[in-house]
Amino acid sequence: MLQLILGGARSGKSRLAEKLAAESGCAVTYIATSQPLDGEMNERVRHHRERRPEHWALIEEPIELARVLRDNARADACLLVDCLTLWLTNLLMLEDLQRLNAERDALLECLAELPGEILFVSNETGMGVVPLGELTRRYVDEAGWLHQALAERCQRVVLTVAGLPLTLKGTAL
């Protein structure tokens, strides 16, 4: 089953994904896309590490998400990707502008063939004002397009607000 869990900052989306992964009954691999390049991001990573069970496997991959999913998806596995918008940011910051399209297309193309449970966590960024800068506008646009394409392919889509899940597609939680 493919699931997309959306929400704003500190909405409870990661906690919900971790709960669903723990309840899956499968071996869990946490796929972290962040690149902790400053103190604040290091603190966020530390917080996430402390919350995760020690027996979960961890893969840190900021760019090649489709490859990691293909290499690790199994019928008896649960892969938790946290988070897609950090992955998108990593791609937007590369000098090779075509890499974003190639990696996004590879992700979307591999989804139908992945066995097991896959949980995607992502920030919903399109509910506010239109950003001023060109890069920020591109980020919001790319995130919105990615979320639409992923939601179309997922069996369940959940929006998390104030720690409460609102099921947008699929069976309610």
> Which of the residues are catalytic?
48
Report the C-alpha gap between 102 and 1 in whole angstroms.
24
Q: What's the rounded Cα separation, in Å, for the pair 78 and 28?
A: 5
Q: How far apart are CA 165 and CA 13, in angstroms?
A: 8
The CB density around residue 117, as the number of other CB atoms within 10 Å, is 23
Residue 48's nearest CA partner among 86, 89, 91 is 86
Q: Contact 158/167 with Cβ under 8 angstroms?
A: yes
Q: What is the pairing mode between strands 57-60 and 117-123?
A: unpaired
DSSP-assigned letters across all residues of 67-86:
HHHHHH--TTEEEEEE-HHH
